[in-house]
Amino acid sequence: MISIFPSLLSGAIITLKLLIVSMFFGLIIGLFFAILRINKNPIINKFAYGYSYFFRGTPLLVQLYLIYYGLANIEFLRNSFFWVIIKEPYWCAIIAFSLNTGAYTSEILRSAFQTIKKGYIEAAQSLGVTKKITFYRIQLPIAIKQSLPAYGNEIILMLKGTSLASVITIMDLMGEARKVNVLTFKPFEAFITAGIIYLFITFIIHKAIKLLEKKYIYQ
Amino acid sequence: MELLSFGDTGWGDELFFATLMTIAVSIAAMAIGFLFALIFTPLKLSKKKSLNIIGNCYTTIIRGVPELLVIYLLFFGGTGAAMYVASIFGYDGYIEINAFITGALAIGVISGAYSTEVFRGAILSIDKGQFEASKVLGIKKGIQFYKIILPQMLRLAIPNLSNVWQIALKDTSLISVTGLVEIMRQSYIAAGSTRDPLFFYSVAAILYLILTFLSMKLINKLEIKYSKGY
């Protein structure tokens, strides 16, 4: 069990890299689409809804395959500069995970925006605060604080999602565990050790979010 | 469109049966999940500390570990474990566990953890007065559960169970790694032999969207049925 630990740890670092990078892009995408969702224009609104419906209604594996195998099929993408990015499984995984978590994040933020009391916005308006400042200084901070618990869950779901990267040849924690299983024919050792490492990461994320919640959440 | 025709030239019929397989695995997994929830919800609600820990361990571990890991563990480990158990009884041949059973069991164990949480939450949110009133009226514990607690619990649990169902439905795509021919595996085969992955994975995405959409509609109807009188 100890001999397989180093290779699993090197996989865990890749898992964490995948998680952090895709959570970063996912947050930007999610915020962008959440703002589109609360827009009153029906076309913009429907577009953002369609995006989140597609990514929440299909399995992550389908999205990953569509990007990894599917995009390479488009002639003009293959000849363009994007080919540098989409020929790498690592970046394909990042794109798929970011778009997926972006859809869930947009839903979390949207519901947070919609539960903000109207009084706050009205108070800001009556004080003559411009719309832009109301959004950045009042709506956004409240929405972020309110969505913290749900976002913590999303991070853990995404951590579990990154294990799919192993299917497209990335040697993350799951990929390393598979390799150990194939080399040693000891499935229990390989997968249970990997499971313990996953649980440990989940535990750390859980605790960190709990700390943030304590610090920031409003009652 | 020709690629999707039924018969020998197209992949329509294959994809159709694959979709049925996805539905079948999801339903089997959901049923197995309910069985697990039936065992672990009382443990989680129990006042005994030791039973409580067992229940908490189950839900925490399963919800903290990737679905793929559970599937691999059962797929690679299941055969070994089954052969070990069989060898105790004196059977030394090779045993291969059916991919359908492995898949349904794996997704069932996962959805069971989510169902347990849902049931626990639903029971906890039932008014205490309901338990006390039925006790005062001298209703037996079993009847109390089936006639009083369960109907109220279901009403509260259905919206969350619909989420669990959606998760299970999407998780079945992961069983494709074990070789069970469901939507994902079939599109993989089709994409490989026609060299048109973009088309077939788009079809797979649309099939999943249809499934989630239809199940949403169905669950909404159930929800209306169970909230009659509220």
pLDDT grade, residue B53 (50/70/90)? very high
Looking at the partner chain, which of B80, B177, B213 has a beta carbon nearest the beta carbon of A167? B177
Structural domains for chain A: 5-216 (1.10.3720.10)
Tell if the CB–CB gap between B212 and A57 is shorter than 8 Å. Answer: yes
Kindly report the backbone phi and psi dihedral angles of residue B227, in degrees, each rounded to the nearest multiple of 5, phi listed first. -100, 20
* B224 shares contact with chain A (CB less than 8 Å): no
**Which DSSP string do the residues of B151-202 spell out, in sequence order?**
HHHHHHHHHHHHHHHHHHHHHGGGGGGGT--SHHHHHHHHHHHHT-HHHHHH
Degrees to nearest 5, angle at CA A101 with A97 and A104: 155
Instruction: Output the pLDDT for position A161.
Output: 94
- How many Cβ pairs closer than 8 A exist between chain A and B? 115
- Residue numbers of the domain that contains B35: 2-226
**Distance to chain A for B148, nearest Cα, Å:** 32
| Residues contacting B130, CB < 8 A, separation 6+ | B148, B149, B152
**DSSP helix/strand/coil, B66:** coil
pTM of the model: 0.90
Instruction: Return the residue matching tokens 């969505």.
Output: A147
Predicted local distance difference test score (pLDDT) of residue A140: 86
pLDDT tens-place string over residues A149-192: 899 999 999 999 999 999 998 999 999 999 998 898 888 889 99
Given a cut of 80, whether residue B2 has pLDDT beyond it is no
Residues of chain A above pLDDT 90, percent: 62
pLDDT in tens, B145-172: 888 888 888 888 888 999 999 999 999 9
Phi, psi angle pair for A121, to nearest 5°: -70, -40
Evaluate if residue B214 carries a pLDDT over 60: yes
Q: How far is B55 from chain A (nearest CA, A)?
A: 16
Exposure class string for A63-82: b at 16+ Cβ within 10 A, else e: bbbbbbbbbebeeeeeeeee
Nearest Cα to Cα of residue A105 among A162, A150, A72:
A150
Q: What is the mean pLDDT of chain B?
A: 89
In tens, the pLDDT along A83-103 reads 888 888 999 999 999 999 999
A188-206 pLDDT, tens digit each: 889 999 999 999 999 999 9
Which of A55, A62, A46 lies closest to A26, judged by CA?
A55
What CATH number should be reported for the domain holding residue B128? Answer: 1.10.3720.10
In terms of Cα–Cα distance, which of B81, B161, B93 is closest to B121? B161
Confidence of residue B173 (pLDDT cuts 50, 70, 90): very high
- Give the tokens for residue A25: 């892009």
3-state SS class at A186: coil
**What 3-state DSSP class applies to A1?**
coil
- Residue appearing with tokens 């997968």: A191
Kindly indicate the confidence band of residue A47, based on its pLDDT and cuts at 50, 70 and 90. very high
Burial of B37 (C-beta count, 10 Å sphere; 0-12/13-18/19+): buried
Number of compact structural domains in chain B:
1
pLDDT score of A217: 66
Residue A126 has pLDDT above 60, yes or no: yes
Please indicate if any CB of chain A lies within 8 Å of the CB of B213. yes
CB-based contact (8 Å) between A200 and chain B?
Answer: no
- CA-nearest residue of chain A to B177? A167
The pLDDT of residue A164 is 94
Measured distance CA(A1)–CA(A11) in Å, rounded:
16
Cβ-defined contact of A156 to B73 (cutoff 8 Å): no
Q: Do B205 and A66 touch (CB under 8 A)?
A: yes
CB contact under 8 A, B170 and A60: yes
Q: Which band of pLDDT confidence, cut at 50, 70 and 90, is reported for residue B1? A: low
B201 — contact with chain A (CB < 8 Å)?
yes
- Mean pLDDT over B29-36 rounds to 95
pLDDT at residue B108 is higher than 80: yes
pLDDT above 60 for B105:
yes
Across the interface, which of A62, A167, A198 has its CB nearest the CB of B201? A62
A188 to B73: CB separation less than 8 angstroms, yes or no: yes
Tell me what pLDDT residue A1 has: 63
Q: What letter would DSSP give residue B168? A: H
| pLDDT at residue number A141 | 86
